[in-house]
């Protein structure tokens, strides 16, 4: 591994008690949205929730993460797969890019198969923006099932 990338992770507040097991497993195994770091060393410099709708902690948490060296902010998979998916995710992305000049990546761990199935039935990812949003977290079915 040649270069170290420092990242921050923001999770949905409805999962605020999440210990990050799936995210950190995916980071270790370089799966889901973390596959982009396959050949890089990664340091997590921040992990927090958005603080609930409409995401009041995003402004302050990202400022702290950037002060700790964050170059990339991951909006965790929970923001994509919850029912309903985060209605503010695109606003968070534009805000973080504009205010802090940081790269934003949608997702962390691969989408569990059970969520992919349910969102397919519900049609919650039918809007034109969602294929781009979920793309980094799609994986093969075997991997998705391992994250159920």
Q: Thinking of the domain 4-146, which architecture would CATH place it in?
A: 3-Layer(aba) Sandwich (3.40)
How many other C-beta atoms can be found within 10 angstroms of the C-beta atom of residue 121? 8
Check if the beta carbon of residue 101 is closer than 8 Å to that of residue 63.
no
| Averaged pLDDT, 56-65 | 95
For 36-59, give the DSSP string: GGTTSEEEEEEEEE--STTTTHHH
Give me the residue spans of the domains in the chain. Answer: 4-146
pLDDT of residue 55: 94
d(CA 123, CA 100): 33
pLDDT of residue 125: 94
Q: What is the pLDDT of residues 83-112, one digit of tens each?
A: 999 999 999 999 999 999 999 999 999 999
pLDDT of residue 3: 74
- Mean pLDDT across the chain: 96
SS3 for 53-71 is CCCCHHHHHHHHHHHCCCC
């Amino acid at each position: 591994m040649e270069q170290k990338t420092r990242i921050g992770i923001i999770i949905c507040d409805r999962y605020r008690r999440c210990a990050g097991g799936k995210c950190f497993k995916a980071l270790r195994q370089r799966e889901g949205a973390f596959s982009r770091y396959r050949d890089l060393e990664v340091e997590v410099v921040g992990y927090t929730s958005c603080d609930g709708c409409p995401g009041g902690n995003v402004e302050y948490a990202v400022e702290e993460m950037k002060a700790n060296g964050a170059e990339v902010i991951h909006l965790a998979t929970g923001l994509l797969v919850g029912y309903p998916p985060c209605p503010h995710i695109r606003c968070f992305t534009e805000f973080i890019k504009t205010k802090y000049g940081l790269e934003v990546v949608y997702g962390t761990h691969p989408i569990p198969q059970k969520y992919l199935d349910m969102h397919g039935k519900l049609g919650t990812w039918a809007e034109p923006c969602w294929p781009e949003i979920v793309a980094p977290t799609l994986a093969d079915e075997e991997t998705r099932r391992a994250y159920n």
